[in-house]
Structures are given as C-alpha cells and as structure tokens.
Amino acid sequence: MNEQEKGPVMTGKPATSKTVIVVVDGFGVGAMPDAGALRPGDLTADTCGHVLDRCREAFGRPLRLPTLGALGLGLVHPHPDLARRTHLPVAVGRAALGYPGADTFAGHQTMMGADFSRVTVARLADHLDGVTRALTDAGHRVERLDGKPLLVVDGAVLVHDNLEADPGINWNASGRLDDPDPDLALDFDGILSVARTVRAVAPVARVIAVGGHADGPLPEFVRDGDGGTVGLDTPATGFYRNGGLQVQHLGAELDHTRQLPDLAARAGIPVTLVGKAADILACEAAVRRPAVATAEVLAHTLEAVRADGGALVVANVQESDLAGHQQDVERYGRILEQVDAGLAALLSLLTGPGDRLIVTGDHGNDPTIGHAYHTREYVPVLIHRPGAPGVELLPDASSLADVGATAAAALGLDPAGLANGTEIHEAAARAA
C-alpha cells in the first residue's frame, strides 16, 4: 500500500477546528525582484500602497481597513494609513509567488500545493509545429491565418495567444456559436475538443476554450499583442456583451490528490470552495459556491464557517482583480473596504484555539501601473491564530505553496502529503 492509499496523516489537531483561506485576487504588496523582466516599469508595482495613496486623494480620507490593520497588514506593508501594531494573535509575513508569471489559475493551484516547476511561459508561435501536428493527428484541418502565428482549425476555431493575460501565460481556442455559415457552425463541445487536443501538448499553465456570439467573423478581431504574441481581441468580438458566453479552463496536468482540498476531504474534513476558487480548484467532494459579487462571496464564506464541525473553506474575492484590470483605483478601494467588513465578521466566528483565518493574494494587479495586466508582486500572508501568544513575524515564503502547507498543518494534516510547499515557521523576530 502506498502513502496515497493510506490516506492523509493527521497530527492530532482538534476535529472541530476550521481553517479559512481568503484570497483577495490581485492584492500585491510590492514588486518581486524579477517583476521587470517583461515590463521594466513593473518594478514600481505596489497594488496595496498605490491603492491606499490614490483613494486617500479621491475620497479625502484614508481607506477604512481596521480589520486588515488588526490582522497585521501594516507590519507587512509599512504604509502610513495602516496600523503598525495589533492586539490580535497573528502571524504575518509575505510570500513570493512560486510560479512563472502572475496568473490566478497558477496562483491558486500553487497555493493548494501543486508543483508548477514544469509549466513555462511560451508564445504559441514557438510551438506551432507541435500543436499543428497534434491537431492534424486528431483529424482536424489546420492552417495559418494570413501567415500569422495563429491557427485556424476546421475553418472555425482560432487557436491563439491569450491577449488578456501576460504574454505567454495562456493560450485560447475560440469559436463562434452562431456562425451564419452552416459549414462553420459548431457547438461548444466542438471548441472544447480542439482545446483539449491543444492542452495535451501545450507547455503553458492554461488552455482556455471560449465560445460566444460575435459581432462578425473572428479573423476581423485578430491583433498583435505584447511580447510578440498574436491573438483574438476577445472583448472586441462582442463575446462578453452579447450573452451566451461559454468558457472552460483546461489547466496543466496536476495531481489533485496531492493538493490541499483533496487531502482535507480524504481526511474527512468538509471542504467548501467559494467564488472563483469553486471554478478553478479540483476536489470532487467539495461543496462549490461560485460567485463574482464580493457580497455574495463573503456571504457564502460566512455560511460555510457557521456550519457545524471542522472545515476547510477557500474563498476568492474576484472583484479586486477586476478593478485592477479596469485600472479603476476607486473601485478597488471600495472592494477592499467591503472585504475588510467581511473579515471582521469572520473573526467573530473563528474563536477556537485551532481555528485559522489566512488572508493572502495570488499575484498583484496594480491599477495605477499603466496597463491592464497582472503585476508580479509579493502577497501578504496574514494568519489569525486564536489563543496564540502575541504577534509573530514570519520569514518571506518562497512560494504560495507554503501558504497551503501552513493551512494543512493548521488542519492537523501532514504537509508532506502535498506535492509542493513547506510550513512557514515562525521567525525569531517578534512584535509586541
């Protein structure tokens, strides 16, 4: 019998303890050293600091973030609008991303314990021959579009670089669901079939199947992107505004049994995935509560915590990331205030000595940086530990996987059961 068949190793923590991970999507606390590799200007990225600065100017007051302050955000990011002391028993630090680029899917998979060391950032142009061969072997007709590094499959599906993320992070397979040419008409399953064939040979983190109702032939909306990429300008097609959009994310092959949700579920711990986490994390036993609106995400999270017994809850607040993409600083600030109020409600429920509230991010998305892409930043790691003595300052974690390993330990699980990650140990430094 191998270790996986034996099931997760428990370490004797209370059976009724709860661990809640709240991922504020796109919430960074300053550029990582390699942030300027793609765009030199990103070395100035600081989502947290720039949002605080601009919102003070716009609102005529500091953002009201008393709970994030009490959780120790000001100890991680020394901004004058954040408290530098806290009375709560917390462990605070920051984490490097631990995966290439800055991507929500890769961030969450890494945080849950996946090893993304074999995932690369790559343009479709660098892999055209292999992708073409795979599609042809699967029985598809494949051709280039006007000599561009972009493929037309069966005259109907475009395989292209994703222009809405950093260059080389994701590829898309996009098709019209309402093509007026009966020879080109297809359903979403046809698009998905193409995407799955591409996924089998793609080195990137995600291949995304996209089907929708377009304002015209898709080749009319092809444009050059950054970093030598070429792809479909999906917002310009009308897919997002015409209704009926269908999307499926096909991630890099992962051993989901060695990720935190599955590890917890196999140990008999109820698992709830909320918001975008419900869409992108794998766990057959999990209760899923997909939502975009922050109020709904917070309500689902509180409902899961109020349930009896021990639990793991992973929630993603997506609207902060959307505000970053829209370069809307004021919206970002209002979302942070809404999140802060929700965190206060969570703290009132997580009072047992084994309970944990972990607040973190998956990457940065600085709305002041001058572009609509994610920014490669450190993210905060704020851990509330009821009953623990004082405040602990944590060393920088080398990967988001260390956050998942720390959560596993809090649930009484052996972090070695994850494919990646090491429990973050308390630093010698101590704050009063």
Whole domain around residue 70: which residue ranges?
Answer: 3-118+254-431
Q: What is the mean pLDDT of residues 47-52?
A: 98
- For residue 185, what are its two tokens? 């008409």
Integer Cα distance of 218 and 202 in angstroms: 22
Q: Let me know if 422 is exposed, middle or buried by CB neighbors in 10 A (0-12, 13-18, 19+).
A: middle
Integer Cα distance of 192 and 114 in angstroms: 24
Say yes or no to pLDDT of 183 above 80. Answer: no
Find where tokens 């001058």 sit: 370
Say yes or no to pLDDT of 423 above 60. Answer: yes
Same domain, 18 and 98: yes
Pick from 146, 152, 174, 177: which is nearest to 162 by CA? 174
Q: What is the mean pLDDT of residues 370-374?
A: 91
pTM to 2 decimal places:
0.82
Same domain, 260 and 290: yes
Mean pLDDT estimate for the chain: 92
Same domain, 40 and 114: yes
Q: What pLDDT score does 427 carry?
A: 42
Q: What pLDDT score does 323 carry?
A: 94
Integer Cα distance of 130 and 52 in angstroms: 47
Same domain, 111 and 128: no
Q: What pLDDT score does 14 carry?
A: 52
Q: What pLDDT score does 7 carry?
A: 60
- For residue 169, what are its two tokens? 């992070």
Same domain, 108 and 178: no
Same domain, 330 and 204: no
How many domains, the chain?
2
Q: How far is CA 285 from CA 267, 273, 281, 312, in A?
A: 11, 10, 12, 12
Q: Which residues contact 180 (CB under 8 A, 6 or more apart)?
A: none
Integer Cα distance of 158 and 222 in angstroms: 10
Q: What is the mean pLDDT of residues 74-81?
A: 96
Same domain, 10 and 60: yes
Say yes or no to pLDDT of 430 above 90. Answer: no
Beta-strand ranges (E) seen in 363-420 are 379-384, 391-393
Same domain, 333 and 417: yes
Which of 197, 231, 251 is a domain's end point?
A: 251
Which of 251, 266, 298 is a domain's end point?
A: 251
**Which CATH number goes with the domain that contains 26?**
3.40.720.10
Q: What pLDDT score does 380 carry?
A: 98
Which of 251, 276, 305 is a domain's end point?
A: 251
The answer to whether the beta carbons of residues 362 and 379 sit under 8 Å apart is yes
Q: What is the mean pLDDT of residues 414-429?
A: 81
Q: What is the mean pLDDT of residues 86-92?
A: 94
Same domain, 282 and 146: no
pLDDT band at 49 (very low <50, low <70, confident <90, very high): very high
Same domain, 284 and 423: yes
Q: What is the CA radius of gyration of the chain?
A: 22
Same domain, 66 and 197: no
Q: What pLDDT score does 425 carry?
A: 75
CB atoms near residue 394 (< 10 Å): 24
Integer Cα distance of 409 and 17 in angstroms: 12
Secondary structure tally for the chain: helices H, strands E: 14, 17
Return the sign of the alpha-carbon dihedral for residues 237, 240, 245, 249.
positive
Same domain, 269 and 359: yes
pLDDT, tens only, 218-260? 999 999 998 899 999 999 999 988 988 999 989 888 889 999 9
The answer to whether the beta carbons of residues 198 and 134 sit under 8 Å apart is yes
